[in-house]
Chain A
Amino acid sequence: MSIEGSTREPGVRVYLAVWVALLAIVGVETVLVVYGGLAPGTLVLALLALAVLEAGLAVMYFMHLRYERRLLFWSLIPALLFVLLMMNQFWSDAHRIVKLHL
């Protein structure tokens, strides 16, 4: 049975461009750490933002999600983001419990 999923196929040029972009982002992260002089809170936010950007490029192009049916994206990604956001909520709760010495 054939499966009709992908609408377009990215070429080698697209893959190469994404690969270069990913390497460049890693370079920016390293420069930020070594020469940025940012406070830890600002630094972690900047690094997380860049990591999310990298992950987005990897998921959409390397893992081909941009070229699959939209239903696949909506079936997978919102659920994961919800779980991760809830973890973030519980994280701060857990921190509060430690402070209370329960």
Chain B
Amino acid sequence: MSESGVSVAAGHGLGAVTEQSPLGIESKKLVMWLFIIADAATFGALLFGYGYLRVASPNWIRPFSFTPTVLNGLVMTAALLTSSLTMLLGVMAAQAGRRSACIRWLLVTVALGTLFAVLHIREWLHLIGDGWSPSANPTGGAVLVGGTFFSVTGLHLLHVLGGVIAILVIAFGFGRGRFTAAHVETTGLYWHFVDLVWMFVFPLVYLMNVR
């Protein structure tokens, strides 16, 4: 890197001149940040929609009890928060060049993400077994209770499943030398965002619906 902030991409033999990023991060990380901001607006819209529908439905009922729903949710929350910590440890290991340690932490992250997804899907199956669906409320209250619950938690669950697959791909790619520590860090950003969204989903969709 030259002092003027201009460098030559001589490695490609093209002699291309590139400017240093004014934001101080690599392009892949910037793209992930832009995706996260856009996705945050998507989840924001979904949660605002949920709030609006809830306020506009006079026959809204609170279907959840502490046991098992909130208890299950607390275990899911602890798993997701801990997976963010293990992801950070994986990123630190990758940046320090400790390849096998990085892969180990990433696989622990995948296991915790999978635990979250399994608990979530099990909860969904119980609710569906009780007669809940996006268009049905077995208690006779507002149908939108199920509609909003499955929409918000479903979109988040898709993000978790996508993240688990992405981390697996990155872990194996990093192990084979195909990916760098920057790839691990960028994937970590996405995973922390999935965690962040849950910080709003859990209190607003679960805790606010406890009887």
Q: Which residues of A contact B (CB under 8 A)?
A: 1-6, 12, 15-16, 19, 22-23, 26, 29-30, 33-34, 40, 43-44, 47-48, 50-51, 54-55, 58-59, 62-64, 68-69, 71-72, 75-76, 79-80, 83-84, 87-88, 91, 94-95, 98
Spot the interface stretch: B39-47, B107-115, B138-146, B163-171.
B39-47
Instruction: Tell whether, in the assembled complex, residue A26 and residue B77 are in contact, meaning their CB atoms are under 8 Å apart.
Output: yes
CB contact between B195 and one of A3, A47, A58, A75 (< 8 Å): that residue = A58
Q: 13 A-B pairs, CB-CB below 8 angstroms?
A: A1-B20, A3-B26, A19-B85, A30-B74, A34-B70, A43-B208, A44-B204, A48-B204, A51-B204, A62-B195, A68-B24, A72-B25, A79-B37
Given contacts A54-B196, A54-B199, 20 further A-B contacts (CB under 8 A): A2-B1, A4-B24, A12-B89, A15-B89, A19-B85, A26-B77, A26-B202, A29-B203, A33-B210, A40-B208, A44-B208, A47-B207, A51-B200, A62-B84, A62-B195, A63-B196, A64-B189, A80-B40, A84-B41, A91-B48
B23: CB under 8 A from chain A? yes
Instruction: Tell whether, in the assembled complex, residue B199 and residue A58 are in contact, meaning their CB atoms are under 8 Å apart.
Output: yes
B92: CB under 8 A from chain A? yes
- CB of A70, distance to nearest CB on chain B (Å): 10
B14: CB under 8 A from chain A? no
With contacts A29-B203, A44-B208, A62-B84 known, is A1 near B18, CB below 8 A? yes
Q: Which residues of B contact A98 (CB under 8 A)?
A: 56
With contacts A34-B66, A72-B23 known, is A1 near B1, CB below 8 A? yes
Interface residues of chain B: helix, strand, loop or mixed (majority): helix
- CB of B149, distance to nearest CB on chain A (Å): 16
- CB of B44, distance to nearest CB on chain A (Å): 5
Q: Which residues of B contact A (CB under 8 A)?
A: 1, 7, 9, 18, 20-26, 33-34, 37, 40-41, 44-45, 48, 51-52, 55-56, 66, 70, 74, 77-78, 81-82, 84-85, 88-89, 92, 189, 192-193, 195-196, 199-200, 202-204, 207-208, 210
Q: Which residues of A contact B33 (CB under 8 A)?
A: 72, 76
User: What's the Cα separation between A92 and B66 when bound, in Å?
Assistant: 31
Count A-B pairs with CB separation below 8 Å.
Answer: 127
- CB of B110, distance to nearest CB on chain A (Å): 17
With contacts A5-B23, A12-B92 known, is A19 near B48, CB below 8 A? no
Interface residues of chain A: helix, strand, loop or mixed (majority): helix
Q: Which residues of A contact B208 (CB under 8 A)?
A: 33, 40, 43-44, 47
User: What's the Cα separation between A83 and B20 when bound, in Å?
Assistant: 29
Instruction: Tell whether, in the assembled complex, residue A80 and residue B45 are in contact, meaning their CB atoms are under 8 Å apart.
Output: no
